[in-house]
Amino acid sequence: MTGYLARQEVDIGGSPMFFTSERLSVVEYISSPTPTRSKFVFQQPKLSYENNLFTLSFNYPLWIGTIALLCLLYLVICAVTVWEWNKNVLSKKLLENAGVLRPNLVDIALFVFGCTCQQGSVVELKGSLGRMVLLLLFVSLTFLYTSYSANIVALLQSSSSQIRTLDDLLNSRMKFGVHDTVFNRYYFSTETEAVRRAIYETKVAPPGSIPSFMTMENGVKEMKKGLFAFHMETGVGYKFVGKYFEEGEKCGLKEIQYLRVIDPWLAVQKNTQFLEMFKIGTKRLQEHGLQQRENHLLYEKRPKCSGRQANFVSVSMVDCYPALLILSYGALVAATVSVVEVLYYRRQQIINAIRK
């Protein structure tokens, strides 16, 4: 189109054009008919992709208070257990009972840990004072456990809000896609700012791979799957969002500006005799509201979030990763200790056999 204008084959361009230094010498811009907003649009990822849900349930002061409470209850149970055994509060028959908690630091620690995890214990205190302490222990830990579990369920349904800038987007685990247009290919490939250039070279068109330019429909479908940022003209792209997205999914959409350009303008021949006529005509279209009416018909606004629906949220391996990690490490430590115990037992057997 710029070539037609430069060769004076046409008087006015049929569609708006972006400003470039090369075009300023051959065309003249008269008005901007519509604001064009091209941005990266994506669904905010699940909170578990950015944080450990098992530590987010309580804030830092509450974690400190919980640990302090457990330590206090541990010391109180230790004192009560020692007092009951030393003062012979229990009868001889009960003292021989394996279900009575012994004044052993490790046994008491395991007892408190089991109560914290709501697993109970096969041992208990039999005295009146000990029963009162156990009642306080179980009641307080029940409230803490219930609150913790409820927060975990709420966090599983929450999305992260940590991706706010292009730098956050670059360092995220999201895949990228760009609407396949001439101006997108031009501006992405000629970008010089460090973060934007890194997005193009590492996410959009990494060396040795096919650039992630795609149609609008395919890009929106990928965006619906999650963990995908799609650069699109929002006025047109939101029409496809309204077509493919559920109502609850529209609430989690996030926009981040990438292109550093002004809105496209209509262009005419340089020094054309119809310049004033075109300027007056386009101004009248805008003043009478005709241009705004066409914009409303052609471009879709960002979908309004009318309230999150109670969508089904499936729990993935990422959500359970910290728990599985603890379980794996625990199993590894247990297996290691078991092997060490067996080796130590065999060593003692060999030593005893040699001595005999």
- Non-local CB neighbours of 242 within 8 Å, separated by 6+ positions: 250, 300, 303
Full 3-state SS string of 279-345: HHHHHHHHHCCHHHHHHHHHCCCCCCCCCCCCCCCCCCHHHHHHHHHHHHHHHHHHHHHHHHHHHHH
What DSSP state is assigned to residue 207? T
Do 54 and 322 meet the contact criterion of CB atoms below 8 Å apart?
Answer: yes
Fold match, 1-36+266-298 / 37-45+159-262:
yes
Helices and strands per DSSP (H, E), number in the chain: 15, 7
Among 171-180, 244-253, 262-271, the range of highest mean pLDDT: 171-180
- From first CA to last CA, the distance across the chain in angstroms is 103
What DSSP state is assigned to residue 48? G
Which CATH fold topology does 1-36+266-298 show? Answer: D-Maltodextrin-Binding Protein; domain 2 (3.40.190)
Do 311 and 246 meet the contact criterion of CB atoms below 8 Å apart?
Answer: yes
What value does the mean pLDDT of the chain take? 84
Parse the chain into domains and list their residue ranges.
1-36+266-298, 37-45+159-262, 53-156, 318-356
Q: What's the whole-number mean pLDDT along residues 223-252? A: 86
CB-based burial, 263-282: b 16+ in 10 Å, e otherwise: ebbbbbbeebeebeebeeeb
Which CATH fold topology does 37-45+159-262 show? Answer: D-Maltodextrin-Binding Protein; domain 2 (3.40.190)
Model pLDDT, residue 42: 92
Model pLDDT, residue 94: 61
Do 241 and 54 meet the contact criterion of CB atoms below 8 Å apart?
Answer: no
Cα–Cα distance measured from residue 258 to residue 231, given in angstroms and rounded to the nearest whole number = 8
pLDDT of 49-99, one tens digit each? 777 888 888 888 999 998 999 999 899 989 988 887 777 655 566 666 777
pLDDT of 287-304, one tens digit each? 888 877 877 777 777 777
Pairing of strands 175-179, 228-233: parallel
Model pLDDT, residue 340: 94
Do 208 and 9 meet the contact criterion of CB atoms below 8 Å apart?
Answer: no
Q: What's the whole-number mean pLDDT along residues 110-119? A: 85
- For the record, the structure tokens of 37 come out as 């907003």
**229: how many CB neighbours lie within 10 A of its CB?**
26
- Non-local CB neighbours of 257 within 8 Å, separated by 6+ positions: 39, 40
Residue 180: CA count within 13 A, CB half-sphere: 11
Do 260 and 328 meet the contact criterion of CB atoms below 8 Å apart?
Answer: no
Cα–Cα distance measured from residue 111 to residue 356, given in angstroms and rounded to the nearest whole number = 42
DSSP, collapsed to helix, strand or coil, labels residue 12 as strand
Cα–Cα distance measured from residue 163 to residue 18, given in angstroms and rounded to the nearest whole number = 29
Task: Answer yes or no: is pLDDT of 153 > 80.
Answer: yes
